[in-house]
């Protein structure tokens, strides 16, 4: 495992993957980039309900994606579910932000593995040129899913959980951040969207936890797991 632009190269499923601090996974062999749970339009959904939230979250996420594609030289981008948050978030503002982003990356091949929010919000606008697939999508050497499963015919990448991890230091100070939950048969990606929240996870047997602060990925030693808080369920 080696450091790469703040990320970590990880041997997994017979392949070498780069865990990126921007909450993404890059597969250099296939020039493919994977992100989960962008939840575009979530802020717009809240504003329609009268809840004041920042208006720039979708735009900021698009800019981060653009920088990530540029840095990795990815030719394919796969969204592992929940591209849009809700039908109420399909606003003209969000549509124009996404179309502007797409125009800046016209050659990028885009795919979406539909998640639970996509089934409610509908597929992305046709102008974005995103190919949509039911899960699991078996295009590669491993499966691509939105929902984690207990058993799969192949190792898989998934999202849905919005995993986060908490470390508590002596004196009561705690650190809470998004994380990648890595097992022998699956990698659960953190939510890419900035306005998505976290679910604290408890590692299972054989799991490895990689926390990210947006600039660097760090593996949490197993001894640090003892200071985690109990699992918290939240609707995502």
> Which residue shows structure tokens 């984690």?
148
If pLDDT is split at 50, 70 and 90, which confidence band does 166 have?
A: confident
pLDDT of residue 232: 38
- Does 42 or 94 have the greater pLDDT score? 94
pLDDT of residue 45: 60
46-59: average pLDDT: 64
152 C-beta neighbours (distance < 10 Å), count: 15
Fold of 3-227: Purple Acid Phosphatase; chain A, domain 2 (3.60.21)
Q: CA 148 to CA 224: how far, in whole Å?
A: 24
Q: CA 153 to CA 204: how far, in whole Å?
A: 20
- Measured in whole angstroms, the distance separating CA 36 from the mean position of its chain's CA atoms is 3
Query: Tens of pLDDT along 66-104?
Result: 999 999 999 999 999 999 876 676 788 889 999 999 999
Least confident piece of the model among 11-20, 122-131, 166-175: 166-175
Q: What is the mean pLDDT of the chain?
A: 85
Query: Tens of pLDDT along 107-165?
Result: 999 999 999 988 888 999 999 999 999 999 999 999 999 999 988 889 999 999 999 98
pLDDT at 29 over 60: yes
DSSP, residue by residue, the chain: --EETTEEEEEETTEEEEEETTTEEEETTTTEEEEB---BTHHHHHHHTT----S-HHHHHHHHHHHHHHHHT-SEEEE-S-SB--GGG--HHHHHHHHHHHHHSTT-EEEEE--HHHHHH-SPPGGG-EEEEPSSB-SSSSEE-SS--S--SS-EEE-SS-EEEEEE-TTS-EEEEEEEEE-SSEEEPPB-STTS--EE----TT-EEEEE-SS-EEEEPGGGGGGPPPP-----
If pLDDT is split at 50, 70 and 90, which confidence band does 195 have?
A: low
Instruction: Of 215, 2, 207, 149, give the one whose Cα is nearest residue 225.
Output: 207
């Amino acid at each position: 495992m080696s450091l790469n632009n703040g990320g970590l190269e990880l041997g997994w499923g017979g392949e070498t993957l780069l865990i990126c601090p921007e909450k993404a996974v890059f597969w250099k062999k296939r020039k493919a980039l994977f992100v989960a749970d962008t939840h575009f339009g979530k802020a717009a959904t809240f504003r329609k309900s009268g809840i004041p939230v920042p208006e720039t979250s979708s735009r900021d996420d698009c800019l981060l994606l653009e920088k990530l594609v540029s840095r990795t030289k990815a030719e394919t981008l796969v969204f592992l579910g929940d591209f849009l948050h809700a039908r109420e978030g399909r606003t003209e503002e969000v549509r124009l932000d996404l179309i502007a982003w797409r125009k800046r990356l016209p050659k990028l091949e885009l795919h979406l593995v539909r998640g639970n929010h996509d089934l409610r919000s509908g597929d992305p606008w046709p102008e974005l040129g995103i190919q949509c697939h039911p899960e699991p999508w078996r295009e590669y050497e491993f499966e691509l899913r939105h929902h984690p499963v207990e058993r799969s015919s192949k190792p898989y990448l998934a999202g849905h959980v919005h995993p986060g991890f908490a470390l508590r230091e002596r004196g009561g100070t705690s650190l809470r951040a998004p994380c990648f939950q890595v097992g022998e048969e699956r990698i659960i990606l953190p939510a890419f969207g900035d306005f998505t929240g976290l679910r604290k996870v408890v590692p299972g047997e054989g799991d490895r936890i990689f926390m990210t602060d947006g600039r660097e990925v760090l593996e949490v030693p197993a001894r640090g797991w003892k200071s985690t808080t109990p699992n918290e369920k939240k609707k995502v």
